[in-house]
Amino acid sequence: MDKTLIAVPSNTPGGMDAGIGAHFGHCDLYTLVEVADGQVGEVTTLPNVPHQQGGCMAPVQHLANNGVGVLIAGGMGMRPLMGFNQVGIDVYFGADAPDVRTAVEALLAGRLQRFTPEFTCGGGH
């Protein structure tokens, strides 16, 4: 894997040991993990943006504007998933991971599934 920035919706205060936010748009913040050649580099945090009804695309654009290439999420709706696909952010399903570290390690080991419509709130149907 080339150098990329992974975002994980997290509980305060964020970081590798933080719990994962159940719904990406409503999380406290995002833990941003820089990965190069399969190795974890710098870890930072990014505050979330307000998520109003109908404003669910604000977090999508927020992450895209901050250079995120991959998102590990536990839950989201169909529209933001389509938005992430549209802006080129790959989304993986990470609901089973207890913390950011476990989720990122699972991603790097190839154990996470792509976030498909079946995982979305409403199921996409």
Partner 1 sequence: MTEAKRIVIASARQAALEDFTRTLATETGAAVHRVDAAARVPDLVREASPALVVVDGVENGRGLDKTPREVVMDVLAVDAMVHTAVLSPLPGDEFHETYEGLGVLMGLPLEPTREDARKLARALADIFAPPA
CB of 99 to partner 1, least distance (A): 26
For 92, residues 6+ apart whose C-beta sits below 8 A from its C-beta are 70, 71, 72, 73, 107, 112, 113, 114, 115
Binding region for partner 1 (CB under 8 A) = 49, 52-58, 60-61, 76-80, 82-83, 85-86, 120-124
* Distance between CA atoms of residues 85 and 77, nearest Å: 13
Nearer to partner 1, 9 or 83 (CB): 83
Closest approach of partner 1 to the CB of residue 16, in Å: 29
Judged by beta carbon, residue 16 or residue 57, the one nearer partner 1 is 57
Q: For partner 1, give the closer residue by CB, 40 or 82.
A: 82
